[in-house]
Structure 1
Amino acid sequence: MSTLSVPASGDVPQVEIIAVTPELAAKWLKQNTRNRHLRKRAIGDYARDMAAGKWRLNGEAIKFAADGTLLDGQHRLHAVIESGVAIPFMVVTGLANETQETMDAGRKRSAADAFGLRGEVNATVLASVLKRIWMWKQGDLKFSGNATPTTAECTELLKRHPEIYRSVEIAVRTHQAFRYLPQSVVGTAHHVFSAIDADATVWFFARVGDGAELSSGHPILALRSRVMTDRAEHRRTPDFQYMAYLIRAWNALRADRPLARIQQAADAPMPLPK
């Protein structure tokens, strides 16, 4: 369908399901004369899902006013162009122009919401750990958030790496015993360290949690001291620094090297676990 039929005045809006090609999306965007500023990250997120075949017809419509003005859907249409594939959409025409003011007024459903609806245990922690692991695997070692995973990408990551469930369990358990480290970072570190030495990872996080069997100069003791000091001094420590603390303690332990203090400047490169 290359043109939109406009209902006569007084008619109810019309609804169709249309396979929107990149060419059709470009044509419709010419009718985008009154809309919000584009969010490039949202377009990229949508386009990745579309290109990967993960986009689903979910009832969210591309909406047009009775005079043909595009009211809602500009990000999805730009994503169709970026993805280079045709995507089926519900398309609503014949709306009053003023209805645009009430569109997208609700809060976007997050990955945590989606996992919760599926009945996943610890859905919020699961979503946050998946997000951090996805970013780490993309090379965003400082969790800058320049690109973040969609719910579909989180789901696919969990499907490929079901062992992440165990990392989430350890993150929750460690936090219950020692509440000074973010669960999302602990779960991410557990997943990354487990790929290097699974047995050592078990002992490492058990000791991070309980602090037992640690003599003076032990790397985990230095780690626990550092994060407790940060909390006591009300320092605003970003997640990537917590990740760096864990990696520095892990690397020292693996090298059988004493560690009295852990430091990580904000502008320092992220250390890599060994």
Structure 2
Amino acid sequence: MSVALAVKSPAYPAPKTLKELDTLLTGGRGPSAHIIVLHPVLATRLLRRNTRNRNLRPAAVENYVRDIEAGTWPLNGEALKFDVDGNILDGQHRLHAVSKAGAPVTTLIVGGLPAETQSTMDSGMRRTTADALALADEPNAATVASILRRVWAWEQGDRKFARRANPTTTESRALLLKHPEIRRSAEIATRTRAAFPHIPQSALGTAHFLVNAVDPDDCAWFFQRLADGADLSPRHPILALRSRVTSERAKEGRILWARHLSYLIYSWNAVREDRPLARLLVRPDAPVPTPK
């Protein structure tokens, strides 16, 4: 007869007041580290001790808030850091997020640090979504990450790609789980870019993902012809697209990312409507059209 054993989660301290937290952090000599459950009320009170820090970045706070609200905030070893007087050295964005989300998180805290150590904190390179995907052995990690960022914006209703908000790594992974076909879009983008190097892979991959959802067969043909330009009649939309991006890059050197995607979708819609194009003209301020 087997007996199932219940596995209990660790019971971390959950200080409710600044005095309780100070007692925890100053229980020994020198710096000390603890894992605690940080509640929103305490996070708000701790922000009163945010006396000397870099400028707050609201977009970073919003990213953290979404992860906390989704229940995907991990205990990853990143610590809230305090000096010997209890002032915040590192962690203001996380504290603001916990306060704004109104939900507790489990986190590592380190106290009793010399105040001068703040100058060495966060001086390393931030790990990006592309880095996280590469560490997970994801093929075409950088391209997949770029496509995920744009598809996330598209699903948020940002058709001009003008907002500064970006998905967190957790949100990007969830989106890839929801749309694994983005991997195939990244492959096609890489292949198309190698043959026709005038459109960024991220724009090619995003366009492929969007139009493939409309018609996979037409999508495959469209990207083959975009790559090689073969067997296209005069005034064909793909010829107009190839000519437009080639000449515009030669004149201006750079095309805005959203404009690349607009060109791709506009040309796709013209192909689907069997509408010839002598020239590809898109208003600079127009949102990216919806694929048909």
Q: TM above 0.5, one fold?
A: yes
Identity across aligned pairs (percent)? 52
Which stretch shifts more, 231-240 or 164-173? Answer: 231-240
- 2:225 corresponds to which letter in structure 1? R
- Correspondence list, 1:5-154, <5 A: 5=23, 6-7=25-26, 11-154=29-172
Q: TM-score, normalised by structure 1?
A: 0.96
How far is the alpha carbon of 1:30 from its aligned partner? 1.2
**Counterpart-to-counterpart distance in 2, 1:84 and 1:191:** 36
* 1:107-160, Cα deviation, whole Å (9 max, x unpaired): 111111111111111111111111111111111112214211111111000001
Moved over 3 A (4+): none
Contact 2:236 2:278 in 1 (8 A): yes
* 1:226-271, Cα deviation, whole Å (9 max, x unpaired): 0110122134210110111011111110001101111123222332
Match of 2:6 in 1: none
**Counterpart-to-counterpart distance in 1, 2:145 and 2:287:** 26
- In structure 1, runs of 5+ residues without a counterpart are none
How far is the alpha carbon of 1:7 from its aligned partner? 3.1
Match of 2:174 in 1: 156
- Correspondence list, 1:164-179, <5 A: 164-179=182-197
**Counterpart-to-counterpart distance in 2, 1:82 and 1:41:** 13
- In structure 2, runs of 5+ residues without a counterpart are 1-14
CA RMSD of aligned residues (A): 1.3
- 2:26 corresponds to which letter in structure 1? P
* 1:41-78, Cα deviation, whole Å (9 max, x unpaired): 00000110111111111111001111111111110011
How far is the alpha carbon of 1:33 from its aligned partner? 1.0
**Counterpart-to-counterpart distance in 1, 2:84 and 2:287:** 55
Contact 2:160 2:286 in 1 (8 A): no
SS at match of 1:90: strand
**Counterpart-to-counterpart distance in 2, 1:250 and 1:184:** 17
**Counterpart-to-counterpart distance in 2, 1:145 and 1:173:** 29
- 1:231 corresponds to which letter in structure 2? R
- 1:7 corresponds to which letter in structure 2? T
- 2:256 corresponds to which letter in structure 1? P
SS at match of 1:272: coil
- The answer to whether structure 1 residue 246 and structure 2 residue 264 are counterparts is yes
Contact 2:262 2:287 in 1 (8 A): no
SS at match of 1:124: helix
* 1:94-115, Cα deviation, whole Å (9 max, x unpaired): 0111111111111111111111
- The answer to whether structure 1 residue 201 and structure 2 residue 219 are counterparts is yes
SS at match of 1:146: coil
SS at match of 1:247: helix
**Counterpart-to-counterpart distance in 2, 1:219 and 1:88:** 55
Match of 2:204 in 1: 186
Number of equivalences: 273
